[in-house]
Amino acid sequence: SLFRLKDLEVAKLGDSDVHVKMLAAPINPADINMIQGTYAILSPLPAVGGNEGVGEVLEVGQHVAALKPGDWVIPAGSGLGTWRTEGVFPEEMLLKVPSDIPVPCAATLSVNPCTAYRMLTDFETLVPGDSVIQNAANSGVGQAVIQIARAFGIKTINVVRDRPDLPKLVERLMALGADHVITEEMLRKPEMKDIFKNVPKPRLALNCVGGKSTTEMLRHLQPKGTMVTYGGMAKQPVMVPVSAFIFRDVRLRGFWMTQWKKDHAQDQESLASMMDALCQLIREGRLAAPACTEVPLQDYKAALEAAMKPFTSSKQILLL
């Protein structure tokens, strides 16, 4: 196995360091890709897994001004190694978050809701009444897209893979605020016309699958619309008919939260305003954590196995 639970000495607290007791950390697909070596970031080994989570500040170095004991923090970037009970990190690797939001919400805040928020705001100027189409709508990002779009007054058309418990999944996504939930097969059916009787054709498509499902989704995009790819779960390329480019001038873009954070490292304003907006939605009960299963750290093997199962609809969160 690639994993071991180890006891390590906690590093000495430097002047600009923060000693953090981790509270909870989820297992995301990207964490697993990083371990398999199929992700754009490779950590020098041995490494601690986990890119996301929330911790409580225990102690700060004498040059640390923005954080104090008792504050809650999440990773500012990727590769922090959150699957640990405690750690000492440089101050600039941490972001303060309010401690009046639920632990699972804070633990899952830095990747998926931020990705959903940026994709909904950075590519097309959407106004209330507009629509968005997305595949893998039951993923962590997908669930956040549904809820944030709902708060913005934007309609969502949500594509999921057919599965044994489909009605249950549809019900769950509708409860989050989805306007339509359809299977990949339905994308090809004439019944799609019925959806567009009461919802405008989308100007924005969000893709984290690839392959056939993506090509089918693209068909329903408005002329000059944008498809943003942020994942490739089918491990197949994105196929685009030439006609979509020539006659409908669709735009194909990509998004990676890690890159956005690098690009905006000097622009604390845009990061802070996004975090404020998301925390406000959480407080108002309009953005919930994804459906999750909380697992004590010592049961990490079972949690990793569950996280890799197909059709998984619950995020594994390690309690630290």
> Which of the residues are catalytic?
39
CA distance 315 to 34: 17
Helix (H, G, I), strand (E, B) or coil at 41: coil
> For 254, which DSSP code?
E
The residues with which 318 forms a beta bridge, in sequence order, are 25, 295
Helix (H, G, I), strand (E, B) or coil at 54: strand
> For 285, which DSSP code?
T
Q: Alpha-carbon Rg of the chain, whole angstroms?
A: 20
- Could you give the dihedral angle defined by the CA atoms of residues 214, 216, 217 and 220, in that order, rounded to the nearest 10 degrees? 150
- β-strands 17-26, 315-319 pairing: antiparallel
CA distance 220 to 214: 10
Residue 155, sorted as left (phi over 0), alpha (psi -120 to 50) or beta, turns out to be: beta
Tokens standing for residue 257: 């939260």
CA distance 74 to 26: 12
Q: Taking a C-beta distance cutoff of 8 angstroms, is the pair 119, 206 a contact?
A: yes
CA distance 181 to 190: 16
- Helix 29-36 vs helix 300-308: crossing angle, to nearest 10: 100
